Amino acid sequence: MKFRSLIFDFDGTIADTLGESRRIFNELAPDYGIRQVEEHEIADLRHLSLKEILSVLDIPKRRVPSIIARGTGLMRANIDRLQLIDGMKDALTEMRNHTHSFGILTSNTTANVDVFLRNHGLRDLFEFVSSTSKLTGKARHLRAIRKTFSLKNTEMLYIGDELRDVKAAQKANIPHAAVSWGFNSRESLEKAKPTYLIDHPEEFMRVVA
């Protein structure tokens, strides 16, 4: 057993939320006096860090917590329509046989994640779902999870789709797997030097087995 605990990001890693996130952002944008994001812009935004995205879209950092809180609330209304990343259900089921515990650490709400997992018959795979309202607060939560489960740094793996997920794991000094099917592009993730870079859910087994 290579890792005792596998911790997953949610949006873009397990759930295909990119389109819904853009729709919600554009719905909220007028309330904050910021511009909407056109679909053709997504390809370029995928290469950028969070700080760069806030700069390009001219979003004040102080507005981010409110946007996230309102956005995750709006997502709840359409949670039943969100789909799993293709191949993820089989991958999660198989991976669960090769570790002691599964968890989720996300900027989304625990309620949204719980409903989504139950809708797709996956809730029983996970011991816990943890949420952080701060976009840059995951490193602290990862360290807390390690202490809670009495894990060594090398015994847990964090899996996410964004540059900030890679940076959080690096800051917490734990191994991490970046997935290229989510928000940030493969090129940008590769430059961040994750421990592993995964292009399809079926590749997880070469990492955890």
pLDDT-derived band at 132, boundaries 50, 70, 90: confident
Local confidence band at 142 (pLDDT 50, 70, 90 cut-offs): very high
Tokens 């794991």 -> residue: 169
Fold of the 5-16+83-208 domain: Rossmann fold (3.40.50)
pLDDT at 139 over 90: yes
Ranges of H-type helices in 57-135 = 64-77, 88-95, 110-119
**Sequence spans of domains, the chain:** 5-16+83-208, 18-80
Tokens coding 46: 């995928």
Query: Per-residue pLDDT tens for 49-98?
Result: 999 999 999 999 899 989 999 999 999 999 999 999 999 999 999 999 99
